[in-house]
Structure 1
Amino acid sequence: MSPVLALADSAASLREEFDRSFSLAPAPPAAGSVNLLTIRIGSDPYAIRLADIRGLHADRRILELPGPLPELLGVTNFRGQIVPVYQLAALLGKAAGAAPRWMVLAQASASLALAFEAFESHICADAGQLIASADSAGQGRPREGVRTASGVVPVLDIGALAAQIEARTRYASQRPQP
């Protein structure tokens, strides 16, 4: 067989294998694995469980509005629904860096979005990569971490952050206004 024919056969075989891969169902994740997004707030890496969010969005327009919490950046529109947007850095007690470009829509009882500076990657971590923290008093503060190639990254509890925002907003709305 000539080198040209061998190359053509190889290319045809690769093309068929590539096309066939789209007709197969995706492989299910391994039992006990967790899908996470890794993000950056300032110079600090964090992870968010994919199950805790409804979507990841970039460059959404935020209409600035005054509100009961200093972390409130304003509101944005998701499919016709007006959603408050909170700065994740401020909620974690960190100094705000650059204007947040990214936001996640939280999977919480009340719709809200959390804005942050940088999205880094998606990782699928197995149970052995997750590390529980000794401090479980957290209110959205990381109570677990995930081992990655670059070290241990804290995993944010989006449900606890959303509950904290709801409680603080409820408290602020019940206070008498001056």
Structure 2
Amino acid sequence: MIDDDDSARHSLEFLLDCAGIRVRGFASADAFLAAAPPVDGACVVTDVRMPGTNGMELVAVLRERGASVPVIVITGHADVPLAIQAIKAGVADFIEKPFDDEAMLGAIRQALASQAGTADARAERQAIEARIASLSAREREVLDGLVAGKANKAIAYDLSISARTVEVYRANAMMKMQAKTLSDLVRMATIAKFG
């Protein structure tokens, strides 16, 4: 929670604390950036107008640093151009003060849920990529053929090996990839390729 207005910051910190959401407050974006708290699995709530680095500049700095943390921008001076700028900058939500407590909690919970989903997807992709890296070159060629929708005989012809040998490589690939079915295998390969 970043807001130069102490009473507004403390009020929101109290609301989040009562809702069971861990919160850490900062009086400015510069103080937040200097502290560099871990943002994995977090959500940043920031006021727009503050001395020093403002809320929109903070969003830009976070993006430049590669932080994929969702940001909720709050402001007491909302206008259409500012809202458009915030949305284009990729903020998770734009909320005008005074805000409804339930609306704020809902926005934060949604941002945290999307962050958790992104982290879970990233972890799954990394695990799949590690499994693919464990495949031999031939197992990978067979996997590529299966993902392309080719039958074992077609893969065997393309690789100049027997269909029985393709079946062995296919079984090995499925075991290393921890796939129960061919569709599992194709899904994993698709996640690794396209995220």
TM-score, L = length of structure 2: 0.23
**Which of these two proteins has the greater Rg computed from alpha carbons?**
2
Higher helix share: 2
Higher relative contact order (CA 8 A, sep 6+): 1
Higher strand share: 1
TM-score, L = length of structure 1: 0.25
